[in-house]
Amino acid sequence: MLELIVISTLNGVLFGMLLFLLSSGLTIIFSMLGVLNFAHASFYMLGAFFGFQLTRWIGFWPALIIAPLLVGAIGMAVERYGLRNTHKHGHVAELLLTFGLAYIIEEIVQLIWGKGPMDYRVPAALDFPAFTVFSTNYPAYKMFMLLISVAIFIALLVVLKRTRIGLIVQAALTHPHMVGHLGHNVGQVFMLVFGVGTALAAIAGVIAGPALVTQSDMAMLLGPILFVVVVVGGLGSLSGAFIASLLIGLVQTFAVSMNGSLASLFGPLDPSIGPSLLTDVWNVTIAQVAPIIPYLLLVLILIVRPMGLMGTRET
Amino acid sequence: MSEPVTAPAPRTTRADALRFYGLWIAGAALLLVLPLVFSSGGSLTTFSLIGISIIFALSYNILLGQTGLLSFGHAVYYGIGGFLAIHGMNAIAGHEWPIPLPFVPLIGGMAGLIFAIILGWVSTERAGTVFAMISLGVGELVASSALILRSFFGGEAGVTTNRTDLPAFFGLTFGPQIQIYYLIAAWVLISTIAMYALTRTPLGRVCNAVRDNPERVQFIGYNPHVVRYIAFCFAGFFAGIAGALAAINFEIANSAYLGLVQSGVVLFATFIGGVAYFFGPILGAIFVTYLQLGLTDLTAVWQLYFGIIFIGMVMFAPGGLAGLIMMHRPLARGGTLHMLLPAYLIAAVPTLALAGGVILIIETVSRYVVHADASTMVNLFGIPFDTSQPVTWVIAVVLTVGGFFVARMTWRGIAAAWDRAATAARDKGHLA
Amino acid sequence: MSAAIEIDAVNKSFGNAKIIRDLNLRVEQGERHAIIGPNGAGKSTTFNLISGYITPTSGEVRLNGEVISGLSPFEINRRGLSRSFQVTNVFGRMSVWENVRCAVLWATGHRYAFWKNVDSLPEVRQRTAAILEDINLAARRDVPASLLTYAEQRALEIGITIAGGANVILLDEPTAGMSRAETERAVELIRRLSEGRTLVIVEHDMSVVFGLADRISVLVYGQIIASGTPEEIRGNPKVKEAYLGEEAH
């Protein structure tokens, strides 16, 4: 039991950090550019697929560097040639553009790599058990993932608090209009921010690819959860995104490993009641419900605290 | 979005009134006559699907075009309508209740309405981006729940019914597709009239105000949350009707009815049609359904073309097809439309070349990478290309790059022609 | 009879910045009251506090004796208070006619009605037409609001504000950016429309203020430093020091 808790905590924190890698980029892009990048999970997917392909050609470690750079470059191009032109049509148009982009990226990925899962393997150097928790071996690769996520998190913190560009981004998180008055080449700043945000998503993809399934539906599976994270955390709040990421990561991971249900708790219903909504709800295990828990959390937050956990900005 | 005024002016003259009612009568007549002209089974199915799509897209535009609410989860109400229609039909047949098929869409509508009433208040608290995300989350919640609540939603397989088991309606069993077509056509007419009438009510007008300036709306006495909520409920009602008709048509409802993909399709259809005009979604529904059905046979990657068209519209023609058409209206009235023709014709050639090149690239990649076993021949504008030959690649790249550069020059020509034509029209008093 | 508007020891802080400090203001029924003050004094914030756009950190705002601080803007509007905006805030994509008509709908009791045809409501039509005549935009009734000239938009803004029949009207710099002639016409319009109502107006144009107001309050750094008739204000040394500077007419 304790073993389960420890493993689940480790996995939960890992998943949470992954979500934070994604949601931090999303939050920063939203705060600076005012657009919620619907295609953010798609850049994550591109990172995974580029990582896979590059690993095939030149090995995992070069791929870890190059794939995010490539995706970041694509992100910058999207901002420069796509978003910038749609900006004059309003936020709804920008959201629609990123929605269409998500759609296209998924189609192109399917076009090139097909619909099946990729054989994206953990690099040999990391393919060993790091330590043993009770009777389970915890893979070193997952520790590596955790390490990279924490390292990036710290780097993000340092950049935001200590550097000039970080100060600008912080200011933009609460007063986006100010960025326009700063006199910098705002276009370049936006392009850079979008590129960095998407590159962050890509890094998450490169390292998550071997651990999770690398498949063309990755974006569509993770995307909605990502948006739940930012809404629950409060749009525009990095600390909110952090808390919400960990929260959902842990809750999700714990739920998946629990096989309890109302039936297991209170005993089975009278078998003479035929299949109905009641029996469905009674017999469903927590593990089966796990996929919808983030959405239940979303509805809960909306009722109890609509601006999100740490929400500051009005949209 | 920078779009023209959508408020239809009240009919002030007799000529206007005649033209208005004439349009509706013509539409009804078209619905009546269509299957007599195109009577093949495939055509009837196509028309039926278009009809369903029209109601669905119009319901979506109550949210997007009229109240400014971008929803990524509208399929929930469509799907709920479909599921309840199936269960309703099974119940009617099982208990032999005297409810004939034409009334079943009302069951779907009520289901959509009730769900919208339950979920709507929380959903419409905020507008804009937050609303979009909430609609996505709530949509996924319901869609995912469908796989858990198997007794109602039937799991992956869905639930089925037999529409001919219902009591006959004036001798009609609704087995043949032609009867289904007329059933759908009747509901299209009813729904369209109802949704249009809605835009002419105080609520409809205030919805537009909420879309344009929710802040200001408070200062004329309205609670924007309530306005959005009521609009949301209406949208859910009509989406439920569309879902029920789909369930009747296919005699099945499954979790795909509820999901993000279905929400995406109606978003595409409505937007591509044009959100600023009432008839926009009708155009979009026709266009997208035709594309869906037609392209599926021609290419395996038709969804990619979809996405490209959508993005193209968002970036270059956010007013959609309706916007593009109505843009020409002042010119038509001012009699200067013909000034555009030469520019359009000249631009058509390189633009088509560009499109051809892009299509060729996509198709080549598609067959090269994925469908290694499928035929390597691609038919473009009737010319066969062998995608396994490098010459095809070269042609594709040349067409794309060359086409782009030449086309860009001709597009400038169009802009110049527009300038002249619009100015001429304006001089005659027609606002362009 | 209770005052139309009473602001009672209201403070408003945004984070650490105290914008409004112990604000006390009393506007009597039927009075035309002007609020003047240097830029950044908090005039728009005061309007926002009265109209419910923001809530006071402490203190009370009362409308006709009833406490309204903390209510939503639409709740306050339904109690008979209406305001215009400094930055023109109309329904851009709708026609002039539609703009005014929307502003009339709630007051004529039609509210959220979705079963009536809005074109066949005679009272709505008449009222809308009357207001359009008043603001001299009857000839432009079908023009989309975003295509009007600046002065026309400001007139429309005023029209929307009074359309609902509110008894207490707040106008936020209604003549900003207008030429001399346009300003005179606007003042005439405002005087006519505020007949029998309570008017609170924020203005920088002193000729408008002294020509229109029954009483004037001077707002400096979030506090009212003087309140009285135009003569009293003109002669007040504190006001001269803080604001008026040159002789104003």
Size of interface A-B (CB pairs under 8 A): 137
- Chain C hits for B215, CB-CB cut-off 8 Å, are 89
> Is the pLDDT reported for residue A89 higher than 90?
no
Buried b (16+ CB within 10 A) or exposed e, A220-259: bebbbbbbbbbbbbbbbbbebbbbbbbbbbbbbbbbbeee
- B125 CB near a chain A CB, below 8 Å? yes
Q: Cβ distance C50 to C7 under 8 Å? A: yes
Helix crossing, A2-33 with A186-211: angle to 10°?
160
Stretch C211-219: mean pLDDT, rounded?
Answer: 90
- C114 CB near a chain B CB, below 8 Å? yes
pLDDT tens column, B101-121? 999 999 999 999 999 999 999
Which has the higher per-residue pLDDT, B57 or B147?
A: B57
Stretch B68-84: mean pLDDT, rounded?
Answer: 95
> Is the pLDDT reported for residue B262 higher than 70?
yes
Which secondary structure element, helix H or strand E, spans residue B100, and what is its range? Answer: none
pLDDT on residue A35 = 84
Sort strands C5-14 and B383-386 into parallel, antiparallel or unpaired.
unpaired
CA distance B402 to chain C (A): 40
Is B149 in contact with A281 (Cβ distance < 8 A)?
Answer: yes
Is C118 in contact with B201 (Cβ distance < 8 A)?
Answer: yes
Can you tell me the distance from the alpha carbon of C212 to that of C187, in angstroms, rounded to the nearest whole number? 8
Helix crossing, B41-61 with B177-199: angle to 10°?
20
- Residue whose entry in the numeric block shows the structure tokens 């937007």: B271
Q: Cβ distance C39 to C207 under 8 Å? A: no
Range of the domain at B376: 329-427
Q: Which of A179-193, A209-223, B256-270, B335-349 has the lowest mean pLDDT?
A: A179-193
Which secondary structure element, helix H or strand E, spans residue B161, and what is its range? Answer: none
Question: What pLDDT band is residue B2 in, cutting at 50, 70 and 90?
Answer: very low
Number of separate helices (H) and strands (E) present in chain C: 9, 10
Residue B296 and residue B341 in one domain: no
> Is the pLDDT reported for residue B96 higher than 80?
yes
Domain with residue B89: its CATH number is: 1.10.3470
Residues 301-320 of B with CB under 8 A from A: 301, 303-304, 306-308, 310-311, 314-315, 318
| Longest Cα separation, chain A | 74
Stretch C153-157: mean pLDDT, rounded?
Answer: 90
Sign of CA pseudo-dihedral B91, B96, B100, B106: negative
With contact defined as 3+ CB pairs under 8 Å, the chains touching C are: B
- Of the candidates B274, B294, B319, which is a domain's last residue? B319
Stretch A174-191: mean pLDDT, rounded?
Answer: 69
- Chain C hits for B7, CB-CB cut-off 8 Å, are 93-95, 98
Give chain A's mean pLDDT: 84
> Is the pLDDT reported for residue A184 higher than 70?
no
pLDDT on residue B373 = 54
pLDDT on residue C150 = 87
pLDDT tens column, B389-402? 778 778 888 888 88
pLDDT on residue B79 = 96
Can you tell me the distance from the alpha carbon of C104 to that of A223, in angstroms, rounded to the nearest whole number? 44
For B1, nearest residue in chain A (alpha carbons): A89
Which has the higher per-residue pLDDT, B372 or C72?
A: C72
Q: Taking the C-alpha atoms of A221, A222, A228 and A230 in order, what is their torsion angle to the nearest 10 degrees?
A: -160
Q: Taking the C-alpha atoms of A269, A274, A280 and A281 in order, what is their torsion angle to the nearest 10 degrees?
A: -50
- B17 CB near a chain C CB, below 8 Å? no
Q: Burial of B241 by CB count in 10 Å (0-12 exposed, 13-18 middle, 19+ buried)?
A: buried
Q: Which two tokens stand for residue B391?
A: 């010459």
> Is the pLDDT reported for residue A314 higher than 60?
no
pLDDT tens column, A225-270? 898 898 888 877 888 889 999 999 999 888 887 777 777 777 777 7
> Is the pLDDT reported for residue C8 higher than 60?
yes
pLDDT tens column, A104-141? 999 999 888 888 888 888 877 777 777 776 777 778 88
Q: Cβ distance A226 to A40 under 8 Å? A: yes
Q: Which of A21-30, A265-274, B35-44 has the lowest mean pLDDT?
A: A265-274
Which residues on neighbouring strands pair with residue C58, listed in sequence order? Answer: C11
Q: Phi first, then psi: give them for residue C53, nearest 5 degrees.
A: -65, -35
> Is the pLDDT reported for residue B387 higher than 80?
no
Q: Find the CB nearest B219 among C73, C93, C101.
A: C73
CA distance B130 to chain A (A): 7
Q: Quick one: how far is CA B304 from the chain centroid?
A: 17
Q: Find the CB nearest B304 among A108, A289, A303.
A: A108
> Is the pLDDT reported for residue B422 higher than 70?
yes
pLDDT on residue A301 = 85
Q: Which of A170-179, B33-42, B265-274, C223-232 has the lowest mean pLDDT?
A: A170-179
Nearby residues of A168 by Cβ (< 8 Å), 6 or more positions away = A179, A182, A184, A189
- B205 CB near a chain C CB, below 8 Å? yes
pLDDT on residue B374 = 58
pLDDT on residue A178 = 66
pLDDT on residue B90 = 93
Closest of C203, C200, C164 to residue C63, by C-alpha? C200
Nearby residues of C213 by Cβ (< 8 Å), 6 or more positions away = C32, C33, C34, C201, C230
Determine how many CB atoms are found less than 10 A away from the CB of residue A77.
13
- What ipTM does this complex have? 0.88
Cα-only R_g, chain C = 18
Q: Find the CB nearest B221 among C78, C91, C142.
A: C78
Counting residues of chain B whose pLDDT is more than 90, the rounded percentage is 44
Which has the higher per-residue pLDDT, B56 or C9?
A: B56
Q: Phi first, then psi: give them for residue C199, nearest 5 degrees.
A: -125, 130
pLDDT on residue B269 = 94
| Longest Cα separation, chain B | 69
Residue B189 and residue B298 in one domain: yes
- Chain B hits for C111, CB-CB cut-off 8 Å, are 202
pLDDT on residue B41 = 80
Closest of C89, C106, C82, C168 to residue B215, by C-alpha? C89
pLDDT tens column, A276-308? 777 777 777 788 888 888 888 888 888 787 777
Q: Cβ distance B44 to B181 under 8 Å? A: yes
Which runs of consecutive H residues, i.e. helices, occur in chain C? 43-51, 73-78, 96-105, 122-134, 150-163, 180-193, 206-212, 230-235, 237-239
Q: Which two tokens stand for residue B92?
A: 């009617």
Question: What pLDDT band is residue A310 in, cutting at 50, 70 and 90?
Answer: confident
What one-letter code names the amino acid at A70?
A: L
Q: Which two tokens stand for residue C20?
A: 């409004």
DSSP chain A: -HHHHHHHHHHHHHHHHHHHHHHHHHHHHHHHHS---TTHHHHHHHHHHHHHHHHHHH-HHHHHHHHHHHHHHHHHHIIIIIIHHHGGG-HHHHHHHHHHHHHHHHHHHHHHH-SSPP--PPPGGG-SEEEEETTEEEEHHHHHHHHHHHHHHHHHHHHHHHSHHHHHHHHHHH-HHHHHHT-S-HHHHHHHHHHHHHHHHHHHHHHHHHHS---TTHHHHHHHHHHHHHHHH-TT-HHHHHHHHHHHHHHHHHHHT---BHHHHH-PPPTTS-S-HHHHHHH-BHHHHGGGHHHHHHHHHHHH-TT-SS-----
Q: Which two tokens stand for residue A88?
A: 């004059």
CA distance B195 to chain A (A): 23
Which has the higher per-residue pLDDT, A58 or B380?
A: A58
Domains of chain C (ranges; CATH) run 1-79+201-249 (3.40.50.300), 81-165 (3.40.50.300)
- Of the candidates B319, B338, B369, which is a domain's last residue? B319
CA distances from B424 to B431, C142, C172, C229 (A): 10, 22, 41, 57
Counting residues of chain A whose pLDDT is more than 70, the rounded percentage is 92
Q: Which two tokens stand for residue B142?
A: 């319901």
Q: Cβ distance B414 to B421 under 8 Å? A: no
DSSP C130-181: HHHHHTT-GGGTTSBGGGS-HHHHHHHHHHHHHHT--SEEEEESTTTT--HH
Q: Cβ distance B71 to B251 under 8 Å? A: no
Residue B363 and residue B306 in one domain: no
pLDDT tens column, C82-140? 999 888 789 988 999 999 999 999 888 888 888 888 888 888 999 999 999 888 888 88
pLDDT on residue B4 = 45
- Chain A hits for B128, CB-CB cut-off 8 Å, are 91-92, 315
Q: Which of C98, C100, C112, C119 to mutate to probe the B interface, most B CBs <10 Å?
A: C112
Q: Taking the C-alpha atoms of A241, A242, A248 and A253 in order, what is their torsion angle to the nearest 10 degrees?
A: 150
pLDDT on residue C207 = 87
pLDDT tens column, B348-374? 888 888 888 888 888 888 777 655 555
Residues 224-263 of B with CB under 8 A from C: 224, 226-227, 230, 234
> Is the pLDDT reported for residue A4 higher than 50?
yes
Residue B159 and residue B251 in one domain: yes
> Is the pLDDT reported for residue C193 higher than 80?
yes
Question: What pLDDT band is residue A312 in, cutting at 50, 70 and 90?
Answer: low
Residue B380 and residue B421 in one domain: yes
- Of the candidates B319, B352, B379, which is a domain's last residue? B319
Q: Cβ distance A240 to A310 under 8 Å? A: yes
In a domain, B33, yes or no: no
In a domain, B164, yes or no: yes
In a domain, B237, yes or no: yes
> Is the pLDDT reported for residue B1 higher than 50?
no
Query: How many structural domains is chain B composed of?
Result: 2
CA distances from B390 to B365, B374, C228 (A): 12, 18, 89
Stretch C218-223: mean pLDDT, rounded?
Answer: 86
